[in-house]
Every structure is written in C-alpha cells, then in structure tokens.
Amino acid sequence: MDQIQKQWSKLSEKDRKKIREALKKIKKRDFENLNRKKLKGYDHIFRVRVGNYRLIYFDDGEEILLKYLKKRNEKTYREI
C-alpha cells in the first residue's frame, strides 16, 4: 500500500469528502476557492490546503500527479 492510500484509509468520511472535492477541482483546473500555493524552489509543484491536510501535486500544464496527501505537521514539506 502506498503512502497516499495509507493516509486515505485513516481519514474520516468528512475529511474524505472535502479532499475528494478539492481533487475534482484540481483535475478540472478550477483553482478558485482553493487555498493553492506554488512551493518555493520548485517550478511545477503546488500544495492545496484542505483543513489540516495538504495535497501536494505536480502540474506542468499537461498532466497532474498527486505526490503526497499528508496531515500538516513540521515535517510535511521536508520529504518533497
């Protein structure tokens, strides 16, 4: 089981619903009302804040790849 699936299995249904909605918006490239930021030092890596969770993904304009789904803590951005 990869890291994203493992984290997903630990989520409450309420958090899953919020994250699912954010993922749909990212897929459609509808970034309005998303707390989205480009990560410093990276050209195509972004994060979206969904409550205490962070969706970190790669977007080069052609494809979108979810890299991490993590609960926010002091180590969240060190593993990128």
**Could you tell me if residue 77 is inside a domain?**
no
The CATH number assigned to the domain holding 8 equals 3.30.2310.20
- Residue-wise pLDDT for 16-48, tens only, equals 999 999 999 999 999 999 999 999 999 999 999
pTM of the entire predicted model: 0.85
**Could you tell me if residue 18 is inside a domain?**
yes
Going by pLDDT thresholds of 50, 70 and 90, the confidence category of residue 71 is: confident
Name the DSSP letter for residue 52: T
Number of domains within the chain: 1
| In the chain, beta strands by DSSP E | 35-38, 45-50, 53-59, 64-71
44 burial type by CB count under 10 A (0-12 exposed, 13-18 middle, 19+ buried): middle
